[in-house]
Amino acid sequence: MTDATFSPNAAQPHPQHIPRLFVKQRITAMVNRYEIRTANPDGSEGEIIAMAQQKRLAFKEQVTFYADEARTQPVFSFKARQRMDIAATYDVLDADGTPIGSFQKDFKASLLRSSFHFSGPGFEAYGQERNHAIAIIRRFVDLPFSFHFDFTDKQSGEVVLSSERQFSLRDRYTVDVRDQRIDYRLAAAMAVGLDALLQR
């Protein structure tokens, strides 16, 4: 998907680009529910633009995001290509089922430091936990650590997306979409995918 002649400085903003998102998890008995919100000009949480629900212990992930809490209007989704594969690739699809990007956990690298491949039209990126020490501690201590993920462009080395988990019992993330090429739907799917896959 990478365009070898692409220059980030010359990029046209993606029409679905949103520079900052907030992701909040609602804990229920059988499913994980997520809210995707925009950011207000003052940095506070804005309106809900999508809601998602993921069944716990699902081997073949298929998470659909809706525009409303009644889940009547699908907006986008992500789905694993392979069943029961710890290194499965997840395709992100628009409301009509057309692929708009993908992500994949780098299983080998994630043994010590959670790592992901992340791609969309015009870019390919690689994401890792920013703090290596916390990454190792998390594997032995079950506490609600605050931690960061930075995704860098494989060509330029520039950070294109960051996801920061807040220190709280409920999962809350601030997602900064620094690269204007990135569709907010793709960024939101990656943020929720991080939360879901880090629980395994």
Q: What is the pLDDT of residues 28-56, one digit of tens each?
A: 777 778 999 999 999 999 999 999 877 76
Phi, psi of 60 (to 5 degrees): -105, 95
Whole-number pLDDT of residue 5:
34
3-state helix, strand, coil in the chain (%, to 5): 15, 45, 45
Amino acid at 173: Y
Whole-number pLDDT of residue 196:
78
- Round to whole Å and give the CA distance between 36 and 196: 15
Whole-number pLDDT of residue 4:
35
pLDDT band at 1 (very low <50, low <70, confident <90, very high): very low
pLDDT in tens, 71-119: 889 999 999 988 766 778 999 999 999 999 999 999 887 777 889 999 9
pLDDT over 50 (residue 25): yes
Residue of 198, 200, 195, 197 lying closest to 26 (CA atoms):
195
Better pLDDT: 154 or 52: 154
pLDDT in tens, 124-148: 999 998 755 555 555 555 555 556 8
Whole-number pLDDT of residue 93:
97
Residue of 157, 199, 195 lying closest to 175 (CA atoms):
195
Better pLDDT: 132 or 149: 149
pLDDT band at 60 (very low <50, low <70, confident <90, very high): low
Better pLDDT: 100 or 170: 100
Whole-number pLDDT of residue 132:
57
